[in-house]
Amino acid sequence: DAGVTQSPTHLIKTRGQHVTLRCSPISGHKSVSWYQQVLGQGPQFIFQYYEKEERGRGNFPDRFSARQFPNYSSELNVNALLLGDSALYLCASSLEAGEGYTQYFGPGTRLTVL
Amino acid sequence: AQTVTQSQPEMSVQEAETVTLSCTYDTSENNYYLFWYKQPPSRQMILVIRQEAYKQQNATENRFSVNFQKAAKSFSLKISDSQLGDTAMYFCAFMKHEGIGADGLTFGKGTHLIIQP
Predicted confidence (pLDDT) per residue in A18-74, tens digit = 999 999 999 999 999 999 999 989 999 999 999 899 988 999 999 999 999 999 999
Burial class of residue B20, CB neighbours in 10 A (0-12, 13-18, 19+): middle
pLDDT of residue A100: 73
Contact between A65 and A58 under an 8 Å Cβ cutoff? The reply is no
Residues 44-83 of B with CB under 8 A from A: 44-47, 50, 52
Q: Is B30 on the interface with A (CB under 8 A)?
A: no
B105/A33 CB distance under 8 A: yes
pLDDT of residue B99: 60
- The neighbouring-strand residues paired with B10 are B112
The pLDDT tens digits of the residues spanning B60-94 come to 999 999 999 999 999 999 999 999 999 999 999 99
Does the structure show a pLDDT above 70 at A1? no
pLDDT of residue B101: 59
User: Cα A31 to chain center, whole Å?
Assistant: 12
Pick the more confident residue, B41 or B66: B66
Pick the more confident residue, B22 or B2: B22
Q: Which CATH number is correct for A5-102, 3.30.565.10, 2.130.10.10, 2.60.40.10, 3.30.43.10? A: 2.60.40.10
Q: Which CATH number is correct for B3-116, 3.40.30.10, 2.60.40.10, 3.40.50.10710, 3.90.79.10? A: 2.60.40.10
